[in-house]
Amino acid sequence: MNSDTLLMVFAKNPVLGTTKTRLASTVGDQKALEIYKFLLQYTAYIALEADCDRQVHYSSYPDYEDMFPNESFSKTVQPDGELGIRMYKAFEQAFSKGYKKVAMIGSDCYELSADLIDTGLTTLQNTNFVLGPATDGGYYFLGMRQLEYAIFRNKQWSTPRVYHDTLIDLEVLNYSYAELPVLSDIDYIDDLPLKLRDKFGI
C-alpha cells in the first residue's frame, strides 16, 4: 500500500461472446470483443494517471498478461454473487486493508478522463461519497470514505433507477455526497462516438 487512496476497476475478462453482449447483438461478437479490449486499454491508460493505488477486479480470473501493467495494478477476482454484493465486498476488502478513500470505475466509459478521476478522488476529501452518473441511469464512478452496505442493497442493477435509488439511500442516511458530470457508458451501438465507429469500421 503506497497511498491511502485506492482506485478499483471492475472488468470482465475479454472472452469472445461474453463481453458487450448488447453491443454484440448489433455488431457481432468479434467486433464487440475488439471494442471492449480497446476500452480496457483506454481505462488502463486513464487510471495510470490517477494519484493513488490501483487494482483490477476481474470477473473470472486475474490476468497478468493484460493491458493493465502488473507493476502499477494489483489484480484479483470478483467474489460470487450479484453485482451489489460483489461491489460491496470489494469496498469492504479495501477498507479492511487500511485505505481511507476508495473509488470504483467500470471499464466501458470512453468519456471518462484521468482529470475527472482525480477530481472525484480529490472531492472525497470533503464529502462522504462521490458519484458519477451515467446516461443509462447507473453510475460510472463511485467513491466513498466509509463503507455503507445500504447503497448496494435492493437495487435493480442495469436498470435506469440505480443512480436515483442510490441518491435516495444517501439522503435518507444523511450522508454528504457530490456528483460528477453525466457521462455515457458504451452499451449499445448508439453509444459509440463517431471516432470509434470509424476506428472499428462500423
Query: What pLDDT was estimated at residue 117?
Result: 97
Query: What pLDDT was estimated at residue 158?
Result: 84
**Residue tagged 475479454 (cell numbers):** 14
pLDDT of 2 higher than 80: no
Average pLDDT value for the chain: 94
Query: What pLDDT was estimated at residue 201?
Result: 87
Phi, psi of 185 (to 5 degrees): -80, 160
Is residue 200 very low, low, confident or very high in pLDDT (cuts 50, 70, 90)? Answer: confident
Q: Mean pLDDT across the stretch 40-49?
A: 96
Beta bridge partners of 74: 55
- Reference 40, options 93, 139, 94, 109; nearest CA is 109
Spatial separation of the C-alpha atoms in residues 180 and 53, rounded to whole Å: 21
Instruction: Give me the CATH code for the 5-190 domain, please.
Output: 3.90.550.10
Residue type, 21: T
Could you give the percent of the chain with pLDDT greater than 90? Answer: 86
Query: What pLDDT was estimated at residue 59?
Result: 95
Q: Mean pLDDT across the stretch 124-151?
A: 96
Distance set, CA 77 to CA 17, 23, 74 (Å): 20, 24, 11
pLDDT of 151 higher than 90: yes
Distance set, CA 69 to CA 12, 54, 152 (Å): 17, 10, 30
Spatial separation of the C-alpha atoms in residues 104 and 8, rounded to whole Å: 5
